[in-house]
A and B are shown apart, each in its own frame.
Chain A
Amino acid sequence: MARLTLDHVTKSFTDFDAVKDVSIDVADGQFLAVLGPSGCGKTTLLRLVAGFEKVTSGEIRIGGEVVSGKGGSVAPEKRRVGIVFQNYALWPHMSVAENIGYSLKVAKLDKAVARQKVEDALALVNLQGLGERRPANLSGGQRQRVALARCLVAAPSLVLFDEPLANLDVHLRASMEDEFAAFHKRTGTTIVYITHDQAEAMALADRIAVMDHGRLAQLATPRELYHEPANEMVASFISQGILLPADVMTSEDGGRCKVRVLGTELVVRCRPGERPRAGARICCRSADIELSADASGFDGLVKRAIYQGGAARIEFTPAAGPDLTLRFEQPDPVVLENGAQVRLRIRSGWLIPAAGAAA
C-alpha cells in the first residue's frame, strides 16, 4: 500500500509533449481513474509511473520514495507496482499457474509457499482449477482475471490498470467492474485505473483525473466532475454537457449568481468569488432543459428530432443565437417534432470558471 505523487511531471517525445506538467496526489488506498479522449496521454502517464518511460521533468514518488526525477529512475522491477494491460499480456509459453507465479519465482520464493500463493490468487479471481491451462485456451474474461491475479500475487504497493475492460463485451464488463470494486474494497490497494469509459470511471473511482492533450484538465470526485466542471473541455467531455455563452450579471452570493443566456436571465450555480464578466459560458445537462409553459425562456426551431427509444435526441437552434445548436435528450413523452417552433427554458446550470482561475 502506498501513496503515489506526481509532481509537475512532463514527458516529451522527440517532437511533442505527451504529458505536460501533470501533478496528481493519490492517497494510500485510493482508487484514481484517469479519463480522457484517445491519444491524450493516459497510457504514457501510466508507463511513467511503472517506470517504462523516463520523465522529462518533474518527479514521481511512490510511498514517499522518489522513483523518477532529476536524480534518475528506479528500474521497473524494483518499484513493486502491479500492472494489468488492455491486451492482458499473458505469456503464451507458460501455463496459467506459471504466469501467476512468475514474480514469486523471480523473487526465489520457496516453492511450496509460492504454490500456495498462486492457489490463493487463483481463488481470489474465481479461477480455481484452471492453473494448468494455457492462456490461449481461456476466454477473454478469464484471461483478464489471470492478468489481475498475476499482478496481485506479489502484493504490489500500487496497481495500475490500462483500460483493462476495453476488449470485453458489455455484460462481462459490468461483472468485472463489480469484481474490481470488490477487490479494491477487500485489499485497500492504491489503484490507478485508466479508461475512456466515463460510466466505468464514475462507478469505480474515488477521484477522477480528466486529461486533455497531455494536460490535467481536472482532478475531482465523480460528483464534482459532473456538477462542477472546471473548464469547457471537461464540461463537454463528461456526459456531453451543453455549453452556452453567457454574461455574468451579479457577483456570487451563496454559491449562485445571475447570468444572461440567450436573452433571458437565469440563476446558476458558481464558484465562490465570481464577479460580473462578459463572455463567460455555462454548462447545463439535458435534464436542466424543459419546455417553457409561460413567457420565460427563449424561442427557437427544432431542427431535428430523432426518437431513440425512451427518449429523443433533439437539435435545437435558438432564435437569439442562430449559429448555436443545442443538442439534448428529451425523455418520453416526446412532444418536440421536426420543424416545430417552440419556447424552451433552462432550469439551472453551472457557470464555468474563467480560464486560469485557481481550481
Chain B
Amino acid sequence: MSARIRESRGQEMALTAAVAVVIVLLSLLPMLRLVKEIAAPGGVLTTVAVEAGLRSPATWIATWHTLVVGIGGTLLAVLSGTLVAVLVSLTDIRGRSALVLCYVMPLLIAPQVTALAWLQLFGPASPFLKLFGAAPPLGTKNLLYSTSGIILLLGVQYGPLVFLLVRAGLRKLPRELVEAARAGGANWFTVLVTIVLPLMTPSIMAAAALAFVSCVGNFGIPAFLGIPANYLVLPTLIYQKLAGGGPAVLGETAFLSVLIGIIAMAGILAQEGMSRRRDYRISSTSLPSEPYELGRWRPVVQAGMWLLILLVLVLPLFGLVLTSLVPGYGIALTAKTATLDNYRFVLFEHDAANRAFFNSFWLSIVAAFFAVIVAVPVGYLIAWGKQRWVRLLNLSVELPYALPGVVLAIASLLLFLRPIPLTGIQLYNTVWIILYAYLARFLVLALRPTISGYHQIDRALEEAAQVAGAGLFTRMRTIIFPLVAPAAIAGGLLIFMTALSELTVSALLWSSGAETIGVVMFSFEQGGDSNYAAAMSVITVAVTFALMLVTNLLAPHLPSGVLPWRD
C-alpha cells in the first residue's frame, strides 16, 4: 500500500519539481540577477550605480519623456478603446464582428511596423500622398517625428487593448441594472453616464494600467519616431547607450531598466489602490441588455467607426504596401515604377535579412512550441493544483511579461555575459540568448488561455481516468493534453505572431549573425532604406494575417476570449 502511495505521490512531485525548475530559470533568476546588479555589483552592497544614474541629466530627461508619452498614450488609448467598446457592445450597430476584427488588428502588428506604416503614409516621400500629388516637398519634416506623434501611435497601438478589457467587462453587466435605471426614467445617455461607466471603472482602470505599462515599455514607436527627433525615452536611451558603449555600460543600463520597471509597477499599484476603493463586484449572472437603438444615427455612427478603421488600419497598411513597391526613396508609384525588387532583395539577396527571416521563424516556432508544452503542466498546477503556493507561481510567470521587455533583455544580458558556470557554455553574442528571453517573456501568453481552458473543463473527466487506474503522466498525455490542447495551441500561435516581428528584446540582444526580422527592419529604416523595411513589414504582416485565419479554424474548440480578434 505505502509503495503505491509513494508511486502516485512521486509523479506529482516530479511534475511540481519540473515546473518549479522552469519557473526559477525563466522568471526568478533574471529578476534576481538584475536586482543584484543594482544593489551589489561585484558582490558588495553599494549605491554607486544608483547614484551615477541619478546624477545624469539624460536619465531625468528620458524619465520625463517616458512619463509624458506613457500618460498621453494611455489617455488616448483609454478614451478611444472605451468609446469603441461602448458603441460596439451597447448599441445595435451592424457588422460587429468585422468591426472587432479590424479594430483589434493593430494589436497583432508589431509597434515598429505601425510606426513605419504611419511614417510612410504621411512623410514627404509618401507614395500614397503622391498618388494625389498631395505629398509635402522633399525635406519637409514629418509631423510624426514628435511627442504628439509618439502619443498618437501609442494610442492607436494600445486602444484595442483597452477595448478588449472594457468589452469583457460590459459583457458581464447584468441587464437588470440598466433596465432598473430606465424604468426609473433615465434615458440611454444618462444610464451610460450614471450607471454603466461608473460600474465599468474597475475594468477601465485595469485596462489603463495595462496600457500604461505597454506604453512605457514600448520600444518600436519611440525608436522610429523619437530617435530621429532626438527625443529619447528610457527604452531608447538604454538602446543608445548599449549600442554605443557595449557591456561596459551594462551597470548603468541596469539602473535605467529598473527605473522603467518601477514606473510600470507604480502604474499597476496606483490602479490596484484605486480599484480597492471601488470594488463593485457584480455577482449576478444575467443576459446582456438589449442593444440601444441608434435609429437614424446608426448610419452616422457606423460610418464613423469604419472611418476610424480606415484611418488606423487600412490606410497605414496600404501606405506600407505602396512603399514596398517603389524602387527608391521619394519616387512616385506608377504602373511603370512599381517593382517587386524590394521583396527580392530582402528575401534572396541581403544576407542579414535572409538570416533574420530564418532566425525569427525558428525562434518563434521554438518559443511557441516550448510554451505550449510547458503551459499544460503549469496550467494544471495553477488551475487544479491543491497547494496554495502555486498562486505565487502564476504571479512569477506573469512578471517577465508584465514588466517592459527592456527589463528582461538587460537581465538576460547580465545573466549570460559570462559563460554559464561549470559548463563554460557562452550564450552572450549568440542567438540562444534571444531564445532564452523569448521563452521567459512569452510563456504567459500561452499560459493564460490554457488556464481558462482548464476552468472550462469538468474536472470529473480527469477523475474518471484516475478511477480507471491512469497515473498522473498517463492522464496528462491521454486526457488532459487533448482537452486543453486547443487553448494552449491558440496561445502558441499568438506567441508565434508576437515573436515573429518582435523588436524590443532582440534590439538589445542581437549580434552579428543573430539578427531578427525586427532588428534588420529597424536598421534598414535607420539607414534610410524604408522600402526594404516596408517590404519586410509587409511579409510579416501577411504571415500574421494568414496565421490568424488558420487560428480561426480552432475557434469552435476554444474558450471565449482566447482569440482577441474573435467577437
Contact indicator A83/B186 (Cβ below 8 Å): no
Query: Chain A nearest CB: distance from B188 CB in Å?
Result: 8
Contact indicator B179/A87 (Cβ below 8 Å): no
Confirm or deny: B351 has a beta carbon within 8 angstroms of a beta carbon on chain A: no
Instruction: Select the residue from A53, A80, A81, A103 with max chain B CB neighbours within 10 A.
Output: A103
Cα–Cα, bound, A93→B175 (Å): 16
Residue of A nearest to B184 (CB): A103
Query: Chain A nearest CB: distance from B559 CB in Å?
Result: 25
Evaluate whether A76 and B182 lie within 8 angstroms (CB atoms) in the complex, with A91-B195, A93-B199 already known: yes
The tally of residues in B whose CB lies under 8 Å from a CB in A reads: 26
Confirm or deny: B177 has a beta carbon within 8 angstroms of a beta carbon on chain A: yes
A-contacting 9-mer, from B138-146, B281-289, B357-365, B548-556: B281-289
Evaluate whether A93 and B179 lie within 8 angstroms (CB atoms) in the complex, with A52-B290, A103-B185 already known: no
Contact indicator A93/B280 (Cβ below 8 Å): yes
Contact indicator A52/B179 (Cβ below 8 Å): yes
Contact indicator A77/B286 (Cβ below 8 Å): no
Contacts of B179 in A (CB 8 A): 47, 50, 52, 76, 83, 85, 89
Cα–Cα, bound, A53→B175 (Å): 12
The tally of residues in A whose CB lies under 8 Å from a CB in B reads: 29
Contact indicator B183/A82 (Cβ below 8 Å): yes
Contacts of B10 in A (CB 8 A): none
Evaluate whether A77 and B182 lie within 8 angstroms (CB atoms) in the complex, with A92-B280, A93-B278 already known: yes
Cα–Cα, bound, A106→B201 (Å): 21
Contact indicator B183/A151 (Cβ below 8 Å): yes
Cα–Cα, bound, A209→B276 (Å): 47
Query: Chain B nearest CB: distance from A191 CB in Å?
Result: 14
Query: Chain B nearest CB: distance from A179 CB in Å?
Result: 20
**Selected contact of B290 from candidates A53, A81, A89, A91, CB within 8 Å:** A53
Contact indicator B176/A87 (Cβ below 8 Å): yes
Contact indicator A107/B185 (Cβ below 8 Å): yes
Q: What per-residue 1/0 map shows which CB atoms of A69-112 lie under 8 Å from chain B?
A: 00000011111111101010111110000000011001100000
**Selected contact of B184 from candidates A47, A77, A92, CB within 8 Å:** A77
Contact indicator A89/B177 (Cβ below 8 Å): yes
Confirm or deny: A154 has a beta carbon within 8 angstroms of a beta carbon on chain B: yes
Query: Chain B nearest CB: distance from A125 CB in Å?
Result: 16
Contact indicator B282/A92 (Cβ below 8 Å): yes
Cα–Cα, bound, A103→B194 (Å): 11
Residue of B nearest to A136 (CB): B281
Cα–Cα, bound, A92→B281 (Å): 8
Query: Chain B nearest CB: distance from A190 CB in Å?
Result: 15
Query: Chain B nearest CB: distance from A35 CB in Å?
Result: 21
Q: What per-residue 1/0 map shows which CB atoms of A238-274 lie under 8 Å from chain B?
A: 0000000000000000000000000000000000000
Confirm or deny: A42 has a beta carbon within 8 angstroms of a beta carbon on chain B: no
Q: What per-residue 1/0 map shows which CB atoms of A10-22 lie under 8 Å from chain B?
A: 0000000000000
Query: Chain A nearest CB: distance from B70 CB in Å?
Result: 28
Cα–Cα, bound, A342→B280 (Å): 63
Contacts of B284 in A (CB 8 A): 87, 89
Residue of A nearest to B190 (CB): A106
**Selected contact of A89 from candidates B174, B190, B194, CB within 8 Å:** B174
Query: Chain A nearest CB: distance from B233 CB in Å?
Result: 36
Cα–Cα, bound, A136→B281 (Å): 9
Confirm or deny: B180 has a beta carbon within 8 angstroms of a beta carbon on chain A: yes
Confirm or deny: B187 has a beta carbon within 8 angstroms of a beta carbon on chain A: yes
Cα–Cα, bound, A150→B195 (Å): 15
Contacts of A79 in B (CB 8 A): 183
Q: Give residues of chain A (105-161) contacting chain B, Cβ–Cβ below 8 Å.
A: 106-107, 136, 147, 150-151, 154
Q: What per-residue 1/0 map shows which CB atoms of B156-198 lie under 8 Å from chain A?
A: 0000000000000000001111011111111100100011001
Contact indicator A102/B174 (Cβ below 8 Å): no
Contact indicator B187/A75 (Cβ below 8 Å): yes
Instruction: Select the residue from B182, B187, B282, B290 with max chain A CB neighbours within 10 A.
Output: B182
Contacts of A47 in B (CB 8 A): 179
Contact indicator B183/A50 (Cβ below 8 Å): yes
Instruction: Select the residue from A50, A75, A85 with max chain B CB neighbours within 10 A.
Output: A85
Contacts of A136 in B (CB 8 A): 281
Q: Give residues of chain A (27-47) contacting chain B, Cβ–Cβ below 8 Å.
A: 47
Contacts of B185 in A (CB 8 A): 77-78, 80, 103, 106-107, 154
Contacts of A77 in B (CB 8 A): 182-187
Q: What per-residue 1/0 map shows which CB atoms of B464-485 lie under 8 Å from chain A?
A: 0000000000000000000000
Cα–Cα, bound, A90→B184 (Å): 12
Contacts of A85 in B (CB 8 A): 176, 179-180
Cα–Cα, bound, A27→B175 (Å): 29
Residue of B nearest to A159 (CB): B183
Contacts of A87 in B (CB 8 A): 174, 176, 284, 286
Contact indicator A76/B280 (Cβ below 8 Å): no
Contacts of A83 in B (CB 8 A): 179-180, 183
Q: What per-residue 1/0 map shows which CB atoms of A60-75 lie under 8 Å from chain B?
A: 0000000000000001
Cα–Cα, bound, A90→B179 (Å): 11
Contacts of A80 in B (CB 8 A): 185
Query: Chain A nearest CB: distance from B289 CB in Å?
Result: 8
Contact indicator A150/B280 (Cβ below 8 Å): no
Contact indicator A106/B184 (Cβ below 8 Å): yes
Residue of A nearest to B282 (CB): A92
Evaluate whether A93 and B198 lie within 8 angstroms (CB atoms) in the complex, with A53-B290, A83-B179 already known: yes
Please provide the 6 A-B residue pairs with the shortest distance between their CB atoms, ordered closest to farther. A103-B184, A89-B176, A92-B280, A76-B182, A87-B284, A106-B186
Q: List 25 A-B contacts (CB under 8 A).
A: A47-B179, A50-B179, A52-B179, A75-B187, A76-B179, A76-B182, A77-B183, A87-B174, A87-B176, A89-B180, A91-B199, A92-B280, A92-B281, A92-B282, A93-B198, A93-B199, A102-B181, A102-B184, A102-B186, A106-B181, A106-B186, A106-B190, A106-B194, A136-B281, A147-B180
Given contacts A78-B185, A92-B199, A136-B281, 5 further A-B contacts (CB under 8 A): A77-B187, A83-B179, A90-B180, A102-B184, A151-B184
A residues with CB within 8 A of B? 47, 50, 52-53, 75-83, 85, 87, 89-93, 102-103, 106-107, 136, 147, 150-151, 154
B residues with CB within 8 A of A? 174-177, 179-187, 190, 194-195, 198-199, 201, 278, 280-282, 284, 286, 290
